[in-house]
Amino acid sequence: MKIDFRPTRLPEVIEVVIEPHVDERGWIGEAWHTWQFASAGLPGAWISTKFVESSCGVLRGLHWQRAPHAQAKLVACHYGEVFDVAVDVRPDSPTYRQWVGVTLSHERRNLLFIPRGFAHGMLTLSPTSRCSYSVAFAGHHPESETGARFDDPGIGIVWPAVPTIITSARDAAWNPLA
């Protein structure tokens, strides 16, 4: 089975598209394969996978873990549709504060690879979404968690329109990216 790796305007953030095998029963495809990921320069081993269910307008993020527990993420939407965002939070990077957003859905059969040093956020666009994200390099370390405001004007993410943004008190309390 083939996986298509498509660069985004931030070259380290990769859209991963499942190239399915289709027959009279439906389709089957691989979301990741160790050797194909390694040949594309992506991690082939994952520490954990989390599942997330949200309603329309739920905005999660922007989150990341600081070194030495920085994580890479592979995000998939199994039901519904989300706008998934990666923001470069590496102060010494030429793309610092730049962002890229990709609409993920079960119909598109796409995922988003977010490397270490990037914040992650997602906004549910459909009535309900069910997503997962796998993390590489480090598990959950609360002492390394950090975030930035989803509406930070210094980043300038253009989120798709939804009737109402619903976020957690924690996410609403993050400061803008320093």
The listed range with the strongest mean pLDDT (16-30, 33-47, 78-92) is: 78-92
Given the structure tokens 């954990």, which residue do they identify? Answer: 48
pLDDT tens for residues 73-105? 999 999 999 999 999 999 999 999 999 999 999
Give the separation between CA 96 and CA 116, rounded to whole angstroms.
13
- Residue type, position 129, single letter: S
| Percentage helix, strand, coil for the chain under 3-state DSSP, each rounded to 5 | 10, 45, 45
Give the separation between CA 7 and CA 15, rounded to whole angstroms.
6
- Which pLDDT score, from 0 to 100, does residue 175 have? 95
Give the separation between CA 126 and CA 82, rounded to whole angstroms.
7
Q: What are the two backbone dihedrals, phi and then psi, of residue 67, each rounded to the nearest 5 degrees?
A: -60, 145
Taking 80 as the threshold, does the pLDDT of residue 23 lie above it? yes
pLDDT tens for residues 138-174? 989 999 999 999 999 999 999 999 999 999 999 999 9
Residue 27: pLDDT band with limits 50, 70, 90: confident
Residue 64 near residue 120 (C-beta atoms within 8 A) = yes
In angstroms, the Cα distances linking 45 to 38, 129, 136 are 9, 26, 6
- Which pLDDT score, from 0 to 100, does residue 84 have? 98
Q: Name every residue whose Cβ is closer than 8 Å to that of residue 36 and which is 6 or more positions away in sequence.
A: 2, 3, 30
Indicate the average pLDDT of the chain: 95
- Which pLDDT score, from 0 to 100, does residue 54 have? 98
Give the separation between CA 104 and CA 101, rounded to whole angstroms.
9
- Which pLDDT score, from 0 to 100, does residue 21 have? 87
Name the residues annotated as catalytic.
63, 133
Residue 29: pLDDT band with limits 50, 70, 90: confident
- Residue type, position 40, single letter: A
**Structural domains of the chain in order of their starting residue, each with its CATH number:** 2-173 (2.60.120.10)
